[in-house]
Structure 1
């Protein structure tokens, strides 16, 4: 894997169509988008090229031992420069669950919500 520029986002969602739609929206707005199906796959990508990413968009509920909240907090600790956007169809995160300066978008998300959130990067 070779990340081409430093305008890259990593999209993490176990639902392939949701992940592809989000990645396409990111590309349409001038950014490079990488995709991962779960937190472990995302961490593998970040371990190889974390400094090249400016943003992470992750779903909360995913298979495996790490959900999106755990991933978001781990990414903040290791790569503090990465802007984090958490999405979920479930409950809104409690105070303190999200890392500092992270955004939350409730599913189903609207394109303008995502564009606003990635533009804040």
Structure 2
């Protein structure tokens, strides 16, 4: 299913299904469409098909496979610079230079108001 080109959409990327569903629900509560991916490779496949329809991306840092959320965030910034990026993590905060410019970082467990503000800041 492709995002509605008229309504802004967010891609939520997290390998934990319940966390991903919670994040997607928060995106919907902010008035946006939410699409979900369980891995970096799945997220890239979605973006390659319809990146112009997405205004934002939320990704966890720890992802299955060889590409982390940091890698995804940096790739998205280069290839699709129009997409706003939010990175969430329970594991660790990013080191200086690990995230592209203009990327929001929110630690898990996230503060719902802070995450809603980051999502709504698009």
TM over 0.5: yes
**By how many angstroms is 1:110 displaced?**
2.0
SS in 2 for 1:11: strand
Tell me how many residue pairs correspond in the alignment. Answer: 121
Unpaired runs of at least 5, structure 2 = none
Equivalent in the alignment of 1:91: 92
**By how many angstroms is 1:107 displaced?**
0.3
TM-score (norm 1): 0.97
Equivalent in the alignment of 1:2: 2
Root mean square deviation, CA, Å: 0.8
Mapped to 2, the partners of 1:113 and 1:64 lie a distance apart of 29
Unpaired runs of at least 5, structure 1 = none
**By how many angstroms is 1:20 displaced?**
0.1
Equivalent in the alignment of 1:82: 83
4+ residue stretches of structure 1 with deviation over 2 A? Answer: none
Question: 1:12-34: per-residue Cα shift (whole Å, max 9, x none)?
Answer: 00000000000001101100000
